[in-house]
A = this chain, B = another copy of it.
Amino acid sequence: MERLVLLAAGEQQLRIDKTRAAMALRGIDSAIITSNANIYYLTGRVFSGYVYLPADGSEPIYFVRRPVHLLDERAISVRKPESILSELKVRGLPLPERLGLELGRMTYTMAQRMMAALGVDHAEDVAPSLSMARAVKTPHEIRLLTVSGVKHERVYRKIAKAYRPGMTDLELQVEVERLLRLDGCLGQFRCAGDEMEIFMGNVIAGDNADNPSPYDFAMGGAGLSPSLPLGANGTVLRPGMTVMVDMNGNFTGYMTDMTRTYAIGQVDELARMAHQTSIDICRECAKAGRPGAEAKALYELGMDIAKAAGLEDYFMGHRQHASFIGHGVGIEINEWPVIAPRSKDILAEGNAIALEPKFVIPGVGAVGVENTYIVGAESMNSITRAPQELITLA
């Protein structure tokens, strides 16, 4: 029989305490959590089922559908959500009055079914409570992110060697995918929000960078198929182009996000200047990114530097512009805080933030870097430390 790989009790308690504090802000007396990302956060592993988390300090219960042999003192095997209520009654536990469900994550059908199963006709959205808790990483989570960053960086240092003249963007991407996977990258690119689909990251060369994607991503790309219209499109890498590598760093269940840009031979001076501006923006935002800083002020700082360099038209896209320059990262690629013009987020120590001030230069391609930072007491510290300069491939 399998034993649940539990989080260390102290670690789990930290996460639960933060989640409960965020639930209290919405008056939620108990939550039922069903998404993989939040189940992983609260329990330390993914299973199919429902985590019952009361706000009052009593123990959480794991209602587990699969794997059927998952045994833990907190696990109760159930087949369906309708069993939860009777299990609570049998244990003499208080029934939810103000129930929290992940309404922003679960399907309408499942939410309706869960409300009926719990005997309530209304539920509060508990997804933001989890997002708030997850935005401030624990020391253990920061270690997992740091391990991902180190492995991610190690693979990126091998990219230049994987290049061969005449290869396509896809061929280069496949070699990077292989290097990542052989070093233990899980591949899975977790996005919150049902309809953002991306396979393991993007490698974008030349003017393909200016093909707009269906999502609010910094970079686009036409992709290989109308069923997945973003990223590499088979462009042959030719002198004068840049190729931007923005591939998944999910080595530990916690992802780092890192972008580096390569020049095929000589590229236009405007592109070189824009690339340096991206490095400058990262450096200045990292300095300004201390606890208490406004996320929108960081965005404005980045935009001001881009404008001062005369690069506004190319900043965060050219034909289509992304509406942010950075985002929280962890179990998913789009966590809190969001570094965007209308963000109300305030930075806190322990945030993990990816900054990606990128430019699209017509006729050349995308340039810029992306790094993942941990917000410390005084500034943001990068955990993706591969060299940032434009690297020439030849």
Contact = CB atoms under 8 A, between A and B. Distances in A.
B195 A48 contact: yes
Count of identical protomers in the assembly: 2
A171 interface: yes
B194 A227 contact: no
B109 A107 contact: no
A40 B228 CA distance: 9
A237 to B, nearest CB: 15
A261 to B, nearest CB: 22
B186 A199 contact: yes
Contacts of A186: 199, 224-225, 227-228
Nearest to A217: B66
A69 B212 contact: yes
A84 B106 CA distance: 24
Interface string A193-211: 0110101100000000001
A12 interface: no
Contact of A320 (B66, B104, B178, B229): B66
A40 B194 CA distance: 15
A228 B104 CA distance: 22
A109 B128 CA distance: 12
Interface string A129-172: 00000000000000000000000000000000000000000110
Contacts of A108: 101, 103-104, 106-108, 110-112
22 contacts: A5-B226, A35-B194, A48-B215, A66-B213, A67-B229, A69-B319, A69-B320, A104-B107, A104-B108, A106-B107, A107-B108, A108-B108, A108-B110, A108-B111, A109-B125, A170-B181, A174-B178, A174-B181, A177-B177, A177-B181, A187-B199, A226-B253
Given A103-B109, A177-B178, 11 more contacts: A46-B214, A46-B229, A66-B214, A101-B108, A103-B108, A107-B108, A171-B182, A178-B178, A186-B199, A186-B225, A194-B194
